């Protein structure tokens, strides 16, 4: 959510930003905000005028009392003023709510370094890590391998829950936990506090951390309760600081959290009928930072480097994409995706994402820092260290052998109880 001062001082910047994001239809919203803000400020002046008048009348009442005069008319006048103030304040609150609703639909100002582009097809490759392997045998899908080894069951999950779910079994389930524990340990060593946050959040938090479009596409609501299942642990972790005033000396706050995540995934991509790639329920190790505005770019680079290091240690061929202007979600000012090579499809697919949201979330959630010069909104960042289901897809495809078994990355061996290869188990 943008600062209302920006609409007063530099509306041109906001309109140009909308053009860069190919959201020209929202330009009209900027003018609406400006008009409503002007009307709201006029109402504020009216209330100030009535309060001043009330003070003058109170002074006259006291003065007339001292002189022994008649104060009936003055008392009547004094009685009407609060009623007028109340009427104006009701109008003012209505204007403020209209402004807030519009502000929620206007995207954050994107960083100057963000490349121009309409959608994810125009994201810019900025780095490659590792090279894809060459195979002289046919690469099978992760579903085939997992089922043939008896390590996943998609038919059973379809019976219990429908499409978009899965049962992991035996060593594949252990591999899932190994990925979580490995990535957790990497981040703890980097100074991130490990937490396990709630899997449900209130609507106030949801609308503070997500754009309206994302809420409609992803969020599951608990019927008859003000609760939603989380789509990522970032939402609980950042939402926990709602209405906080954090002493500046406590910044940065660096947290990593593991949770199951839940997404409706309504949209063009849909849900996979079978497999681990796009599902309603999955596991993620997430990381967040709350920091001073001048430090957010530094922590963006730090978080991105941690995820790159995780996939480098997993020895998976990876590339980093800078998200273009049209692919950025409304709250983001800058973002990068990590993608891993699929030898079966001969293309890269997304496994993680790092984002800087500057003060867009903190304004919605009212998260401030207390500094020597006064209070200010902190900057928030988030990064998917690893989404384990996507990582498992990458491992099953890239590490499969001719006989259908799969090598487990060496860095995970200490977390696998001695298991180094995924074999078929009785």
Q: What architecture (CATH level 2) is domain 4-103?
A: Orthogonal Bundle (1.10)
Residue whose C-alpha is closest to residue 343's, from 67, 52, 145, 195 = 145
Looking at residue 232, what DSSP letter applies? Answer: S
User: What's the mean pLDDT in 244-258?
Assistant: 97
Supply φ then ψ for residue 122, to 5 degrees. Answer: -105, 15
Helix (H, G, I), strand (E, B) or coil at 415: helix
pLDDT of residue 77: 79
pLDDT of residue 164: 87
Lowest-pLDDT range of 171-175, 364-368, 421-425? 421-425
Q: Is the dihedral of CA 49, 50, 51, 55 positive or negative?
A: positive
How does residue 54 score in pLDDT terms, banded at 50, 70 and 90? confident
Q: Cα separations (Å) of 145 from 282, 356, 401? A: 19, 37, 10
Looking at residue 344, what DSSP letter applies? Answer: T
Which stretches within 202-289 are classed as H helix? Answer: 203-209, 212-218, 233-239
How does residue 273 score in pLDDT terms, banded at 50, 70 and 90? low
Lowest-pLDDT range of 62-66, 187-191, 192-196? 62-66
pLDDT at 270 over 70: no
pLDDT of residue 51: 87
pLDDT of residue 313: 97
How does residue 9 score in pLDDT terms, banded at 50, 70 and 90? very high
> How does pLDDT run across 134-178, given as a tens digit for each residue?
999 999 999 999 999 999 999 999 899 988 899 999 999 999 999
Which stretches within 314-407 are classed as H helix? Answer: 360-365, 388-398
Residue in the block written with tokens 């524990």: 181
Supply φ then ψ for residue 375, to 5 degrees. Answer: -85, 150
pLDDT of residue 83: 87
* 120-422 carries CATH number 3.30.930.10: yes
How does residue 388 score in pLDDT terms, banded at 50, 70 and 90? very high
> How does pLDDT run across 71-104, given as a tens digit for each residue?
788 888 778 888 888 999 999 999 999 999 999 9
> How does pLDDT run across 283-336, given as a tens digit for each residue?
999 999 999 999 999 999 999 999 999 999 999 999 999 999 999 999 999 999
Domains 4-103 and 120-422 share a fold: no
Domain positions in the chain are 4-103, 120-422
């Amino acid at each position: 959510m943008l600062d209302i001062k920006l609409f007063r001082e530099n509306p041109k910047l906001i309109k140009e930003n909308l053009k860069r994001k190919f959201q020209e239809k929202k330009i009209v919203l900027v003018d609406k905000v400006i008009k409503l803000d002007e009307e709201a400020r006029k109402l504020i002046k009216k209330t100030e005028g009535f309060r001043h008048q009330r003070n003058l009348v109170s002074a006259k009442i006291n003065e007339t009392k001292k002189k022994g005069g008649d104060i009936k008319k003055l008392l009547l006048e004094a009685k009407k003023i609060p009623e007028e103030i109340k009427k104006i304040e009701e109008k003012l609150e209505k204007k403020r709510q209209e402004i807030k609703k519009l502000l929620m639909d206007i995207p954050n100002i994107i960083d100057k370094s963000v490349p121009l582009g309409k959608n994810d097809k125009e994201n810019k490759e900025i780095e490659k890590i590792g090279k894809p392997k060459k195979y002289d045998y046919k690469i099978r899908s992760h579903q085939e391998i997992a089922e043939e080894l008896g390590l996943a069951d998609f038919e059973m999950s379809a019976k219990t829950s429908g499409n978009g779910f899965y049962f992991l079994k035996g060593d594949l389930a252990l591999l899932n936990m190994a990925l979580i524990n490995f990535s957790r340990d990497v981040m703890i060593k980097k100074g991130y506090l490990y937490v396990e946050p709630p899997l449900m959040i209130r609507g106030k938090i949801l609308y503070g951390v997500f754009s309206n479009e994302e809420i409609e596409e992803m969020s599951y609501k608990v019927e008859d309760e003000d609760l939603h299942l989380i789509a990522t642990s970032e939402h609980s972790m950042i939402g926990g600081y709602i209405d906080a005033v954090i002493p500046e000396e406590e910044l940065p706050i660096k947290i990593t959290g593991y949770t199951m995540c839940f997404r409706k995934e309504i949209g063009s991509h849909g849900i996979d009928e079978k497999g681990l790639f796009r599902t309603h329920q999955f596991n993620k190790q997430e990381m967040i930072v709350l920091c001073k505005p001048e430090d957010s770019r530094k922590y963006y680079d730090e978080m991105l480097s941690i995820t790159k290091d995780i996939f480098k240690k997993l020895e998976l061929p990876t590339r980093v994409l800078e998200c273009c202007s049209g692919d950025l979600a409304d709250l983001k000012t800058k973002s990068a995706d990590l993608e891993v090579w699929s030898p079966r499809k001969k293309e890269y697919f997304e496994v993680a994402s790092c984002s800087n949201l500057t003060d867009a979330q903190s304004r919605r959630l009212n998260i401030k820092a207390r500094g020597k010069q006064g209070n200010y909104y902190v900057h928030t960042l988030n990064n998917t260290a690893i989404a384990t289901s996507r990582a498992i897809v990458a491992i099953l495809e890239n590490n499969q052998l001719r006989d259908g078994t799969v090598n487990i990355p060496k860095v995970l061996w200490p977390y696998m109880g001695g298991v180094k290869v995924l074999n078929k188990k009785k």
